[in-house]
Amino acid sequence: MKALISAFYKTDILREFASRLSALSFEIYGSKGTAGFFNEHGISAENIAKLVGGDPILDHLVATISREVAAGILAKRNDEHMKQMEALGLPYLDLVYVDLYPLLEEIRNPKSTPESVIAKTDVGGILLLHGAAKGRRIVIGDPKDIPMVIEWLEKGRPNEAEFLDQLAAKAEFICSGYCLLSATYHGQGEYAGLLGKRVQECKYGENGYQSPAYLYADPLNSDDPLGLDKFQLMSGDELSYNNRCDLDRLLQIITHIAATFDVNYHQVPCIAVGVKHGNACGVGISFQSPFEALTKMVDGDPVALYGGLTIMNFDMTEALANLIALDGKGGKRLFDGIFAPSFDGAAVNALCRKAGKCRMAFNPALATLDRNSLDKAPIFRTVRGGFLKQPNYSFIFDMNADYLEKYGPDIDGLPEESDLLLAKAICDTSNSNTITIVRDGMLIGNGVGQGKRDRAAKFAWSIAAEYDHSTFGAVSASDSFFPFVDGPEALQKAGVKAIVTSSGSIKDKEVIDFCVKHDISLYMIPDKIGRGFYNH
């Protein structure tokens, strides 16, 4: 048996791989540098130059590309092909290992140029992987698969056809992602695509008849510590399709809140967020204690929160679990999902539901949220016949920004300022049109998804009134400008004392005059900079 190994990174893992292949009676061929690396460590390896007619040429642009190597990875084990290979003196290559030039790292390098990206674009490696996949060789394009392949070989190659199919599929996946990277970079936006590796099968999709449904992880964002695949289930059923949609929304909300306070105050409070159908129905923050943040979260819209999901940036302890598990009226508050940096065993026992209906998953990265925690990956949205692509939601309200225009009473440094920051972060991660009302670090009304802005204001006010939350002295955020004065009028009647919105309406002056007249602090951000439409 013969193996061809061409490695950009010469690591101890690679050396161990070659050693164990030798122990399995593999003859090893390597590109010049790789073969030299093995020989230096006492592992016999032949330079691939013996097959291709010489060392690399054209400043190493051509090293493994040749008819001889292609024959070695494409030949079939039949009499006709084997006779031709023997007549040509060519070996049948059973195994191919390639780690491609680090194209993604070069593209992400701030100092990269089109020339440097081209220089780091592998050609021979792609040909080897693609060819070995077609030839159904033992093909490896990911160093993480080395232990799996060695174990399979040492066990005598069980289920060989199926195993080789899996390796071939992954090699083709690696090639397709690599080529997509290059096309996207050089096409300057002309081309785009999605890649994903299946990491979980959901019972079904958004509805029971939408099956099968899967979660795919994006290999180009595998370093994101808050990726949904990084959450580890602690208790309960596997997360459903809808659970994962809600978790994605929870992450948008909590990271925007964390980033907002980090930017403005250089510290992040304890944050607890609850959602139902993706929109915040309970949010609490506290610079004093997790207990206070959780209390505010569960008291915001407690009925809507029933069967919802919650996330926090602090560990879930037994005391905190008892706080949110019991409704204070002798009943149990039921959640479908709870996400935290960690859970202790007693907390899990306090929160669990029959049949595993309360999913608890942990991710330590939740404990370190700050301005760098925002999702930076572009957003794709499928539409009939294709998809839309846009940058992610990244606007953070900065009280000290030059773009901000302030009217009415000054609330800088007052508690209302902190509430305004919170309201803006919640509003910007709720389905537009939205009016959000916050008081004392607590969401008390979120009027989401309305066709009219004054209706959204009245809706938010009605939610607060339903649970006897006082809106007097509260603050409010609007995800876009007010086209009429009726929105501020509704908020003024509710007792709101400060509003953050965007400017750009022909009625801006009327809105400003109304707020000044009624002693409402008005903060306006130019519409093109800070309009907060979300999932429009």
Question: Is the CB of residue 324 less than 8 Å from the CB of residue 296?
Answer: no
pTM flag (> 0.85): yes
N- to C-terminal Cα separation, the chain: 58
196 assigned to some structural domain: no
Measured CA to CA, the distance from residue 15 to residue 28 in angstroms comes to 12
AA identity, residue 471:
T
Residues 174 and 242 reside in one and the same domain = no
Tokens of 86: 């023997």
Helix axes 508-517, 486-494, angle to 10 degrees: 20
267 assigned to some structural domain: yes
Residues 120 and 61 reside in one and the same domain = yes
pLDDT score for 32:
83
Residues 495 and 417 reside in one and the same domain = yes
Residue 46's nearest CA partner among 66, 67, 86, 18 is 18
For the beta carbon of residue 362, count every other beta carbon within 10 angstroms. 21
Cα dihedral across residues 368, 371, 377, 382: positive or negative: positive
Question: Is the CB of residue 378 less than 8 Å from the CB of residue 389?
Answer: yes
Put residue 89 in one of left, alpha, beta given phi > 0 → left and psi -120 to 50 → alpha.
left
Boundary-marking domain end, from 187, 222, 245 = 187
Residues 416 and 355 reside in one and the same domain = no
Residues 133 and 9 reside in one and the same domain = yes
Helical segments of 8-110, H only: 12-23, 32-40, 49-52, 67-74, 79-88, 103-108
Residues 477 and 400 reside in one and the same domain = yes
115 assigned to some structural domain: yes
DSSP 3-state of 294: helix
AA identity, residue 248:
D
Measured CA to CA, the distance from residue 27 to residue 21 in angstroms comes to 8
Tally of residues, the chain: 536
Measured CA to CA, the distance from residue 327 to residue 313 in angstroms comes to 22
217 assigned to some structural domain: no
Measured CA to CA, the distance from residue 426 to residue 252 in angstroms comes to 9
381 assigned to some structural domain: no
CATH code, 267? 3.40.140.20
Residues 257 and 138 reside in one and the same domain = no
Boundary-marking domain end, from 130, 161, 187 = 187
User: The tokens 């999902």 sit on which residue?
Assistant: 337
Residue 522's nearest CA partner among 534, 506, 508 is 508
Measured CA to CA, the distance from residue 148 to residue 156 in angstroms comes to 13
AA identity, residue 257:
I
AA identity, residue 94:
D
Question: Is the CB of residue 269 less than 8 Å from the CB of residue 287?
Answer: yes
Residues 322 and 438 reside in one and the same domain = no
Measured CA to CA, the distance from residue 74 to residue 70 in angstroms comes to 6
Helical segments of 188-289, H only: 241-265
Residues 469 and 522 reside in one and the same domain = yes
CA-to-CA separations, 320 to 21, 275, 351, in angstroms, rounded? 53, 18, 10
Measured CA to CA, the distance from residue 419 to residue 425 in angstroms comes to 10
AA identity, residue 453:
R
For the beta carbon of residue 429, count every other beta carbon within 10 angstroms. 28
213 assigned to some structural domain: no
Tens of pLDDT, residue by residue, the chain (536 residues): 999 999 889 999 999 999 999 999 999 998 888 989 999 999 998 888 777 766 777 766 676 777 888 889 999 989 999 999 899 888 999 999 999 999 999 999 999 999 999 999 999 899 999 999 999 999 999 999 999 999 999 999 999 999 999 999 999 999 999 999 999 999 998 999 999 999 999 989 999 999 999 999 998 888 899 999 999 999 999 999 999 999 999 999 999 999 999 999 999 999 999 999 999 999 999 999 999 999 999 999 999 999 999 999 999 999 999 999 887 777 788 899 999 999 999 999 999 888 788 999 999 999 999 999 999 999 999 999 999 999 999 999 999 999 999 999 999 888 999 999 999 999 999 999 999 999 999 999 999 999 999 999 999 999 999 999 999 999 999 999 999 999 999 999 999 999 999 999 999 999 999 999 999 999 999 999 999 999 88
Residues 58 and 180 reside in one and the same domain = yes
Q: What is the 3-state secondary structure (H, E, C) of 327-368?
A: CCCCCECCCCEEEECCECHHHHHHHCCHHHCCEEEECHHHHH
For the beta carbon of residue 228, count every other beta carbon within 10 angstroms. 20
Question: Is the CB of residue 279 less than 8 Å from the CB of residue 446?
Answer: yes
Task: Provide φ and ψ at 447, rounded to 5°.
Answer: -90, 85
Helical segments of 95-159, H only: 103-108, 114-119, 124-134, 146-154
Long-range contact pairs involving 374-380 (C-beta distance under 8 Å, separation at least 24): 374/255, 374/256, 374/259, 375/224, 375/226, 375/251, 375/252, 375/255, 377/218, 377/221, 377/224, 380/192, 380/194
Question: Is the CB of residue 532 less than 8 Å from the CB of residue 426?
Answer: no
Domain count, the chain: 3
Residues 163 and 20 reside in one and the same domain = yes
CATH code, 7? 3.40.50.1380
Residue 460's nearest CA partner among 301, 306, 303 is 301
Cis? peptide before 433, omega within 30° of 0: yes
**411 CB-near residues (< 8 Å, 6+ apart):** 417, 420, 497, 498, 521
Residues 290 and 176 reside in one and the same domain = no
Measured CA to CA, the distance from residue 290 to residue 274 in angstroms comes to 14
- Kind and range of the H or E run holding 319: helix 318-325
Question: Is the CB of residue 308 less than 8 Å from the CB of residue 278?
Answer: no
pLDDT score for 331:
77
| Domain span including residue 44 | 2-187
DSSP 3-state of 439: strand
170 assigned to some structural domain: yes
258 assigned to some structural domain: yes
| Dihedral angle computed from the Cα positions of residues 86, 91, 95 and 98, in that order, rounded to the nearest 10 degrees | -140
